[in-house]
Amino acid sequence: MLDIYLESNHLILSNKRRCNHLLALEKYTEENIIDFLISLHIVLEASLNSLFRRLTIEQIKKLVGPLEVIKNLDNISFMDKTTLFIYNSNFDFGDRVSEATKYHKIIGKIKQFSEVRNKLLHGHSISTLFPHEGPKKASEMRALLSEEYVKEQIERFKFILEGMRFYIDCLEGNFINPKGKEYLKKEFLSDNFFEEV
């Protein structure tokens, strides 16, 4: 059994603050939108990875060192961990099966959510073409960098965390952490930092 497990949440907290700062600006520039999208992705990915580490570390019943478990978990993408969690965990949905079906969509939402971050970090072109004749044409990435897209990403983010809170509520099993499910939801699945803007 694990006696003490402390993990830095700096990336989650600092990027939540950065998201708030960028949303509070009066004018959204292309650069601000890029920074916001990257920061929001870091919040989601780091939060879900931390949640899955916490769930696994506190319930592992093998004589394997916790750091080895963490290293192996960290080699699995957060999308794959989420999918495995939804399909392989034991849940008691009771009369909430329709909600479970609704929140099953978070798997697809995570893929949509991650697409822009992947394109930005892999250097996809943010450009505009001005042909000699006809209207100018924006690259796919530049076309996404809008206030409307920011709102769509925020909605995806909130839906994913809402769905994960639902699954944590329905998760069966003993939680070694005395703070239990409410702690996990507050620490790793809270989206109330948007209310601070």
Handedness of CA 173, 176, 180, 186 (dihedral sign): negative
User: Can you tell me the distance from the alpha carbon of 1 to that of 176, in angstroms, rounded to the nearest whole number?
Assistant: 9
Residue 196 is predicted with a pLDDT of 58
Residue 127 is predicted with a pLDDT of 76
Residue 8 is predicted with a pLDDT of 83
Closest CA to 79 of 114, 104, 55: 114
Element (H, E) at 4: none
CA dihedral of residues 129, 130, 135, 137 (deg, nearest 10): 10
CA dihedral of residues 58, 73, 47, 108 (deg, nearest 10): -120
Residue 186 is predicted with a pLDDT of 93
Residue 1 is predicted with a pLDDT of 47
Q: What is the DSSP letter of 104?
A: T
Residue 90 is predicted with a pLDDT of 92
pLDDT, averaged in runs of 10, over the chain (197 residues): 68 94 89 95 96 84 79 93 95 95 96 91 79 78 89 96 96 69 92 75
Residue 122 is predicted with a pLDDT of 83
Residue 168 is predicted with a pLDDT of 95
Residue 5 is predicted with a pLDDT of 62
Asked whether the whole model's pTM tops 0.95, one would answer no
